Structures are given as C-alpha cells and as structure tokens.
A = this chain, B = another copy of it.
C-alpha cells in the first residue's frame, strides 16, 4: 500500500470543519495525530457552480491548509498563486466578481471533469488530497448539493457566495436555509465513523455555525449519528471576547438578535455536545454553559498555537468519559 492511500483502519478523531478558521485547527489535529488518524468532514454549503466549474471553497481550503500550500499572505487560496487567468478573462468581458487564482482554477476544472465522468465529490476529494500528499481522510459532508442560502432583511434569498463575496456580507441577515439538504445523503464514511465504537473524539472546529457547521448538521442522519455517537463531541468557539476571528459571524448573530458569544454558538450543538472549549478571555462564560467547559488560548496565530490547541482539545475530550456525557 502506498503511503498516500487511505488505510482500511478507521480514523480515531473526526473533525467537522468549514474553511479558514476550521482549517487552522484541522491542521493542528493533523500534525499532532499519526497519519490517517484524522478525518475531516467538510462543509459543502458554500459550493457553487461558476463558469461551468464546480467550486468547493471549504474542501479546497482544508486541502491547501493540510498540504501546507495555503496562501498565508492573502488568508485564502493557494500559495504562490498567480492571477493571469482572471485578468485576461475580465478583459474579455468575462465574469470577474469571484476571483480565481490560476493554480486554484485547475482544481475546479479537474473536479468538473471528474464529476462529468461520473465520480462523486467524495471520491474526487480523496483523489485530490492524495495528490496533495495529505495523509488524512477528507469527506465532503455529502456528494449531493447542499446550498446555504441567506435570507436578508430586504426580503431576498441570496446564495452564500453572492452574499459573502458578491455583497461583502453587507445585507442584514434574517435566517439561513440549506437547499437540497433534505434530499441529500450524508457521506457514508462520516456516518460510519460516528457509529464506530472506537472513535476517540469528535471535534467541531471554530467555524461559523450558520454557514459552516449547520449545513453539515442539516443533512439527514448526521445529527442523529452525533447524538448517538459514543465518543465525546467537543466544540471550539469561533468567537473570542465577543469578536469572530474572521468573517461575519458576530454581525450575523447580532442581526439575528442573539448574544454574540460562545454560548450562542454552542446552542446550535446543544443536543449532542459533550464539552466546550472557550478562550481564556471568555472564562466567565464557563459556568453558564450546559456542558463541561475547557478554557484555553484559542487564537491560533502560528503553527505552535494550532498544535497546542489541538492537543488541549484532544486531552479535554479524553477526559470527558461517556458517563460524564450521559449525565452532563
């Protein structure tokens, strides 16, 4: 068996992740675990078809990050990226509101080809991660389309990228829906991992609940499997001291009339959460949570921060026995 081929043994740790923020902790976990111990179930609610291509931003962000090929200058996209394609495409009157790097474009183009050949998004993702030399399982939450839509105060219903990139998160948010989720099948390996009695921990990465984690939970079977999962499920707050590390989460919570804090985030996971990780600056929230809390530095500036947080999260999960969870 080649080192890059997934082994038949199941992963020990399952992370649920969106893009940028989630990928940071996923990288930490990847680095502190042995090869193939980590599986990452990745949000596909941001996916969309653009220029005829299938763009899966979170799947690719996690891939670039685990491969060490993410663009740390931009905070998104590929390392060493060039932009000749979009410059010329725009010059010729092509749609240019969604920028695509030259190397990144190859991923979307190849994905389109393989989808047209009849492969599913999960199978394609496994291939791509192998091509990037990543020794972790990566599972898009579903092969079927699940599309996050943003209901706005002015009565529109915007696809995620139109809201996020097209309108730069300006519209006031009233709610979210996950079109297609009702009819989507969850990634089979994801369900199998959740049902695996030997699973060590489930980690909900510090991602936006509304547009990164809830689209995964909306797929029939995922939430049930999390509820009945025997491993502890711990979530890391994406909000630190009332601010989101990145992205529109605090703005969204405020517009929805929620308190912009970790507690509101964890409310989304209340039916299956075993433990919560909050930042040191939020330690006064610990007592108000319904689950055991662990206080740690959660702002991940460098690789050591990522690894330290990953170790802390796993230690915390290991300490949460099934008994604690059942009575918690």
Chain A residues at the B interface, C-beta cutoff of 8 Å: 51-52, 78, 80-82, 84-89, 91-94, 101-107, 109-110, 112-113, 127-128, 131
Contact = CB atoms under 8 A, between A and B. Distances in A.
A84 B82 contact: yes
A106 B131 contact: no
Given A81-B84, A84-B82, A113-B51, A106 B89 contact: yes
26 contacts: A51-B109, A51-B113, A52-B112, A52-B113, A81-B84, A82-B82, A82-B102, A84-B102, A84-B103, A85-B102, A85-B103, A85-B105, A85-B106, A86-B106, A87-B103, A88-B103, A88-B104, A88-B107, A89-B106, A89-B109, A91-B131, A92-B110, A92-B128, A93-B110, A93-B131, A94-B110
**Which of A81, A88, A91, A112 has most B Cβ within 10 Å?**
A88
Q: How many copies are assembled?
A: 2
A92 B51 contact: no
A87 B110 CA distance: 12
Contact of A102 (B91, B102, B131): B102
B101 A84 contact: yes
Contact of A106 (B78, B80, B88, B107): B88
Contacts of A92: 106-107, 110, 127-128, 131
A211 B310 CA distance: 62
A91 B88 CA distance: 24
A140 B103 CA distance: 31
B106 A84 contact: yes
Contacts of A80: 84
